[in-house]
Amino acid sequence: MRPGGDEQAGALCDARGTRGGDAARGVSVRVLFFGAAREAAADELTLSLPEGTTARAAFERLLNDYPGLRRFGSSLLVAVNQEYARDLEVGLKEGDELALFPPVSGGGEESSDGEGGARDFFELTTEPIDVGSVARRVVHARCGATVTLDGYAREWTRGRRTLHLVYEAYAPMALAEMRRLGREAHERFGIEHVGIVHRTGRTDIGETSVVISVSAPHRRAAFEACEWTIRELKRTVPIWKKEFFEDGEVWVEGEFAPKESAEGV
């Protein structure tokens, strides 16, 4: 959810201790930053807040402490306990996790989804991806088609030569969002299985960054599900891409990014 609203005071602290004193009957909330928001703030910190403080108030506090975050405007996203915040008026509790990040730019940890079937898989990996082996994992005897998307790093972007890419993910939330997309793909299309594997860390030119493979009894459903899944992955799964050019570097932000943050240095 894109936040904004009233400010409520809280005391900020980092991993080494508090700054500003302890609040009576306060709660401690872990705060994580990702992508370009991390560079504007910190990797992570702890907020000591009065009991009953809302996510909106905590967000406003962070904007005050890290003014560089304001450049994202209304596009800055908030997650509470690894889910997109639908209601920023929710009160924060002891041990909650708050994450702030810009629009995603849209992989080994694995999770299978019982609802979608034993062959569904959703993974993040720092290793090179074998596209063929990913595609074969969704093949089923009931299927007549498998459609696989191989997304790889290109050398040129808007006239600038790219040297390499670096992908960063909010891993537990990214995997949860992938599983959600898998469930929705089954509901929307007549498919049998779906698998998503996404690379994190450095990716060189020509190397695969993401593979989506869908099997179905009929090819049309497989094509439509694959196209829908990559579009939604780019829109909602918290993975960010940084492009390193010959003449600079830039975090690539999604379609909802403010214009002033869309171009690099």
How far is Cα 141 from Cα 204, in angstroms, rounded to an integer?
36
CATH annotation of 11-101: 3.10.20.30
End-to-end CA distance of the chain: 28
Domain with CATH 3.10.20.30 in the chain: 11-101
Higher-confidence residue of 55 and 22: namely: 55
Write out pLDDT tens, residues 151-169. Answer: 999 999 888 999 999 999 9
Q: What is the pLDDT of residues 44-74, one digit of tens each?
A: 999 999 998 999 999 999 999 999 998 887 7
Q: Mean per-residue pLDDT for 66-88?
A: 88
pLDDT, position 103 = 79
The segment(s) of the chain belonging to CATH 3.90.1170.40 are 109-252
Residue 88: strand, helix, or coil: coil
Single pTM value for the model: 0.70
- Mean pLDDT across 16-26: 49
Class of domain 109-252: alpha beta
Q: What is the pLDDT of residues 182-237, one digit of tens each?
A: 999 999 999 999 999 999 999 999 999 999 999 999 999 999 999 999 999 999 99
DSSP 24-77: TTEEEEEEEE-THHHHHS-SEEEEEEETT-BHHHHHHHHHHH-GGGGGGGGG-E
Residue partners of 104: CB distance under 8 A and separation at least 6: 35, 234, 235, 236, 237, 238, 239, 240, 254
Q: What does pLDDT average to over the chain?
A: 83
Which residues are CB-neighbours of 38 under 8 A, at least 6 positions away? none
* Alpha-carbon separation of residue 55 from 3, 6, 61, 135 (angstroms): 9, 11, 10, 41
pLDDT reported for residue 3: 54
DSSP conformation class of 206: T
Cβ pair 14, 46 in contact under 8 A: yes
State the pLDDT at residue 102: 84
